[in-house]
Every structure is written in structure tokens, then in C-alpha cells.
Amino acid sequence: MGKTTKKVSAPVAGEAAAADALKSDSRVSLLSQLTADTARWQKVVAILFFIAVWALLGFCESSLLRRVESLSLFVFDTTFYDSILSVPAGALSLAGCFLVQFFHYPLLGATIYVLLLYAVYALVRKVFDVQGKYTLLALLPVVALLASNTQLGYWIFYLKMPGYWYMALLATILSLSAMLAYKHLGAVARVALLCVWVVAGYPLLGVYALVSALLMALMGIALSVQGKKPVVPSVVALLVALLLVGIVPRLYYELCYNTVALENVYMTGVPVSQWKAAMVEKVEYVGSSFWHGIHLYWAPFVLLLLSVVGFVVSLALRGKAAVPEKVARVAVAVVMVGAVVFGVRYWFGDNNFRVENKQNIAIWNEDWRAVADYAKECHEPTRQVVLNKNLALLKLGRAGNEMFAYPDGGVLPLSPLSVHMTHTDGSLVYYHLGRFNYCYRWCMENAVEYGWRHEYLKNAVRSMLLSGEYKLASRYVNILKKTLFHRAWAKEMETFVKDPSLIAKEKSFAFPLQFACYNDLLSVDDVVEKYVMDAIDANGTNEQAQEVYMLSLADALSASDNGAFNESLGLKKNATPEFVEASLVMSLIKKDSKRFFALLNLYVNNHIKGVDMKNPGSVKQLPRHYQEAVLLFLALDKGKTVQVGEEFLNAFINRAPGGVEANFMKFQNSVARTRDELRKMYPHISEDRLNAVIAALLKKEFGNTYYYYYFFVKKIMTY
């Protein structure tokens, strides 16, 4: 029994030890085993790539997707279909417009978009029989397609191609599908497919039909070189493709399309004419930034074409010479690193652009706190960001205490285009500041130039409702009722069209109506911010009762048509407290001391009531920035034109230790001391450079004050 046990236990112990060693070996070499299977790990990396793109678009760039959707339009209407299909590549535009509307819900839109990108990846692998060790190279067309959209920046406001975001993507999917079919057809069927593809495809796909026809023919040549197809039929197919590409667009130009310039018939479907025109834009908008180079907008399309051509060439070379495994891995790694660098570089990451888009969405959602908070994310904001922020603070009643506590300045939009607020958020700003005619004017002008969009239609509806143009508002409401995601909003607005008396009771209309107390006749307004400041900071302010104005406005809003609207409103347009404060704010931005003091009395009468300047118990101080402006302008005036008594200062200015007056004195002393020290250290420093250094040194302590803005925030370039 003992012997038997001994004989059995020895091999069992050996097997157990071997098993343990195998397990340990397995754990140690798990990573090497995974990487050894080239196809598997490259597929995993590809899947992770698509997940990352989805997360970036759906979460990090959700405001961009929402903005792209608001600057598009798709309505279920045959007239709309006809207008889109009246130009080459119209089918791509129509399908693109349909898909873009799902960006209204960013996660849903990002999901659809990424799934279509994955379809390109899968088709590339299938069409060109991409081997496992080259799997990641199938992402090259995907990176190019993604970059063609993420590079746009401010171009989203100016592209005259509805559905642009999906056009190249859909065309690539259709082209690869056609190439897959072409690959398996016989000689005669291939020629037939080329004929049908170019003749029927040009109106639908534009230049993409022409390019894909040539790629199909080249793929036939590649297959012939590889020995899978006869050479002569493939050469004949290539000649037929060249003939069709040269003749068909010209025939369509002569017979069908009279809205396309002859020089553009071979490039329909890409914004070639607009990118050419941008090269001659105003030079003051052109800087040294990478994003000012027009040629860069072509790079993704060039990469897309070259990557597909490379796969076609690979068909011809396949099997001619064996590529060592290590060489293949290095080649894939080098190409993919280059692709990642390309994709990152071509992702427009300008923070001001992102903040503007986030503010736009927040304004539409009436989330004014978010509008103001987003402005804090900018280092040096554009004037659009500043204007949106000031509008939000006026709405929240916080302008007097906070408007200079945010980053200020006026950097121009990062674009080769001469970007104007009239094309970005101008109509939205006009609406909320009561300039309803100007809001509608730019909705119309932009629609004529770039086509109707959701944002234009919605601003047009609201501005016409508050102007008494109910029939016109009804026209745009009916269009929006044919959309997928704006139908409910349109039906809500329709209730106000049918019963205008409800307008005066609607909370969301209250703020814009408070500003509708001045002449709204159209004139030149090329620079939105300057026009708004001049218009609000003008002749309409007076001390008549707000109630008179609001009563006449309520009567007007109950009127049945525009004539009755104007008759009811009459000449009773008197300044509201909101209008007075906005005018006060504009005088500070313009650094206009004379206008500021003229308005200050109105502001005190409207906002600070029951103050007996001889009774300290009734004191209610001015908001902080207005106190700072009083002290600054008095110091600069030195009693020449402005007389403000001690009683006024005691009542409305914080004169306690550590208060506004003490901080102003500290600022003056700090500026003088810093200036003297810098002059001693750098006696030859220029005045501009000296002021810049002082501003940088004092910004942390005084950057949230009006006097810092007055002296150091200069040369603002608005647009």
C-alpha cells in the first residue's frame, strides 16, 4: 500500500508543479500573447477610438452639436425638398440635414454620427481586404472625415452647404459600397455600373460621384495587376470613367443647373468657392495662427482621397513581396501616430468659440446664471462673450456689482473670416434688448445669404410677436411645425399668435419688453455692440412713470394687427428702470462720465427709493461698480464740470475703512508707486509697455474694479 502510494504521488506532484508553472507563465505572458495577436489588439484599439470620439462629441462638444443643429433646417415639406435637390449633391445635403437635426440631443446625434464613422471603417476593411496586422490603417479615412468637421470653428455660421456635417461621410459610405459591388462584377457590368454611377450619381453626390468612379476604375486596374481580373477590360473601364467624368458635369451644367458657376461644376459638394473667397477677406482679421491658413481646410479631404488611393494601390502590390512582421507593426504605429497628431491638430479647440456656443444654448434655455458663469472660463474673451455676460447680469440684476469682476477685453474670433456678431449671435442680443426690428432684419438677411435655419426662424417668430406682426409670425410658426424637434415650441408660440393678449402675461417675454421703449427704426448697424451702446445710451431716458409705458404696451400687445399695435403704443414709450440701468452700464463700457452722471439721478430715483441723505438710517448704497465710477470720474473731473456734495457721497458710497473709497485710494497709490519703481528700474521703457506691466502686476488685486477697466482695458476690437 505504501509502495503504491509512492509510485502514484510522484507523477501527480510533477504534474501539479508543471500546471502551476504554466499558470504563472500564462499570467506573465498575457500582455505579450494579446499583442502577439495583431488583428485582435488592433481591433480593440479601433473600438476604443470610436468610444473616445463618441464621448468627446457627446459630452465635451455637446454645445457645438447643439449649435450645428440650430444652424441647420429640415422640414417635412416637398417645397423644402425641391429647393435642396435643385443643385448637384442635393441628395447628400438633404440626407445630411435630416441627420443633423438629431444633434438636438447631443448623445443621440453623436451615436448616429459615430456609428456611420464605424461603417466607413468596416467598409474599408471589407472592400480592400485589409489584413489583420494593418487593421488600424482602416481608421485613416475616419480620421480625415472627422477632421473635416471638427476643424470648422466659425465656418459653421458661413457655410452655404446644408447638411455639411454628414455630406462627406455619407458620400464615402456610398462610394465604398459601390466599390465593393464593382469589385465582384464582370467586365460588362462594371462599365454599366460606371455609366449609371456617374450619370445618376452626379446630381445626387456631386464631386463624390466623379471621384469614386475614378477610384472604382483604378481598383479594377489594381485587381488586374494582381492577376484577379483581365487587364484590357479594366483599361477600357478606366477610359470610360475618364470620359464620363469630363463630359457629364458639363452636360448637366448646360441642361439642368443654372445656379452653379461653370468653374465649380467639378467641385460641387465641397465648399471650394467659399474657401477661395476667404483668401481675400479683410487683412486685419488675418493673423499668424494656424487657423488663419485657408489651405488647412483642404487637408482632411486630401487625406481622405490619399488614404483611399493608398488602399487601392495596396491591392495591386499585395502578394508581390512579403513584409516582415516587425516592419508592418512599425509602419502601422508610425502612420497611426501621425493620424492622431493630425486629428488633434485639426480639432478646433478655441475656448472662446466653445464658450460662445455654450452661452448661446444657455440663453435659449433662459439659464442666465450659466451664461454669466461660462464667461469666467475665458482668459481673454471675444466681445460676443462679454456682451452675452453683461446681458445676463442685467437680467439677474447683478450688473452693478459684478460686470467688471469677469475677464474683459476684446480678442477677435480665431478665423480667416471677418466674423461679425450679426452672423453669430447678433439677432439674439437684439431680441433680448428689445430691438425687434433689428433682430428680424438679420434673421432675414442671413436667411437670404445662408438659407433658413432653426435659430433664424425662432428669433423671427419671437421678434414679430413682440412687434405686433402676428401674420408674419404665423408664417414662420407654420414652418417650424413641420420640423421634428421644434414642433412643440412652434405650437406654444402659436397660442400667442391666436391670442396676442397672452403675450403681456408670458414671463419669458417680460425682459425683452422692458427694453422696447425707444425708437426701433432701422439704420446701419454693422458693429452690433457699438450700435447697441449708441442706441440704448441715447435720447429715450426720462423720468416719466414706468406704469404709463407698461399700460400702453399691454394695450398694444392685445391688438389684433400691426396697425392697431402701433396706434395703441402711440407716443407713450417711456424709459423703464431696466432700460435706465442698461444705459448706465453702456456709459461705463464707453467710459463716458458725462452720460454716466446724467443717468445716475434717474437710476437713484428708480432703484434706490426712500433715502434721506440727512438720515444715516435710510442709507442704501449704490452697487459697487457705480460707486467706483462716481469716485473715479470725480477724481478725473476735479470739480470742473461735476459737483457732488458730501451728503450724496455719505449716502451712496461706502466710505468705511476697507470700503470702496478706501480701495480706490489704495489703487491710486499702488499705480503711482509701481510706476515710479518701474521707471527707476527700466528708465527707457515705453509708456505702452509700462502700462502693460502695471496692469499685469495689479490685476490680481484690482482686476475686478471699474477703475482697473477704465485705465488698463483698452484697444477693444469689437465686431
Rounded to an integer, what distance in angstroms lies between the CA atom of residue 212 and that of residue 209? 5
Amino acid at 126: K
DSSP character string of 583-632: HHHHHHHTT-HHHHHHHHHHHHHHHS-S--TT-GGG--PPPHHHHHHHHH
Q: What is the pLDDT of residues 510-528, one digit of tens each?
A: 999 988 876 677 888 878 9
At 672 the pLDDT is 96
Q: What is the pLDDT of residues 555-609, one digit of tens each?
A: 555 566 655 555 554 444 567 888 889 999 999 999 999 889 988 888 887 777 6
Domain ranges of the chain: 40-281+289-345, 351-407, 615-712
630 Rama class: left (phi>0) / alpha (psi -120 to 50) / beta: alpha
- Averaged pLDDT for residues 614-625: 74
At 570 the pLDDT is 46
User: And the C-alpha cell for 376?
Assistant: 469666467
User: And the C-alpha cell for 314?
Assistant: 495596396
Amino acid at 446: N
Residue with cell 423703464: 576
> Does 544 have pLDDT greater than 50?
no
- Averaged pLDDT for residues 127-151: 95
User: And the C-alpha cell for 121?
Assistant: 471603417
- By three-state DSSP, how is residue 16 classified? helix
Rounded to an integer, what distance in angstroms lies between the CA atom of residue 677 and that of residue 675? 6
Rounded to an integer, what distance in angstroms lies between the CA atom of residue 368 and that of residue 199? 53
At 420 the pLDDT is 92
- Burial class, 134, CB count within 10 angstroms (exposed 0-12 / middle 13-18 / buried 19+): buried
Rounded to an integer, what distance in angstroms lies between the CA atom of residue 89 and that of residue 167? 8
Confidence of residue 228 (pLDDT cuts 50, 70, 90): confident
Asked whether the beta carbons of 206 and 269 are under 8 A apart, the reply is yes
Query: Which DSSP state fits 653?
Result: S
**Residue 158 phi, psi (nearest 5):** -115, -15
Rounded to an integer, what distance in angstroms lies between the CA atom of residue 635 and that of residue 646? 14
- Averaged pLDDT for residues 401-427: 92
Contacts of 163 (CB under 8 A, 6+ apart): 72, 92, 93, 94, 95, 96, 97, 98, 99, 100
> Does 369 have pLDDT greater than 80?
yes
Confidence of residue 459 (pLDDT cuts 50, 70, 90): very high
Confidence of residue 536 (pLDDT cuts 50, 70, 90): confident
- By three-state DSSP, how is residue 643 classified? coil
Asked whether the beta carbons of 300 and 167 are under 8 A apart, the reply is no
- Please state the pTM of the whole predicted model: 0.89
Write out the H or E segment, with its range, that includes residue 426: helix 426-432
> Does 372 have pLDDT greater than 80?
yes
**Residue 75 phi, psi (nearest 5):** -125, 145
DSSP character string of 392-414: HHHHHT-HHHHTTSS----PPPS
Asked whether the beta carbons of 388 and 359 are under 8 A apart, the reply is yes
Half-sphere exposure of 278 (CA within 13 A, CB side): 24
> Does 407 have pLDDT greater than 70?
yes
Residue with cell 461603417: 119
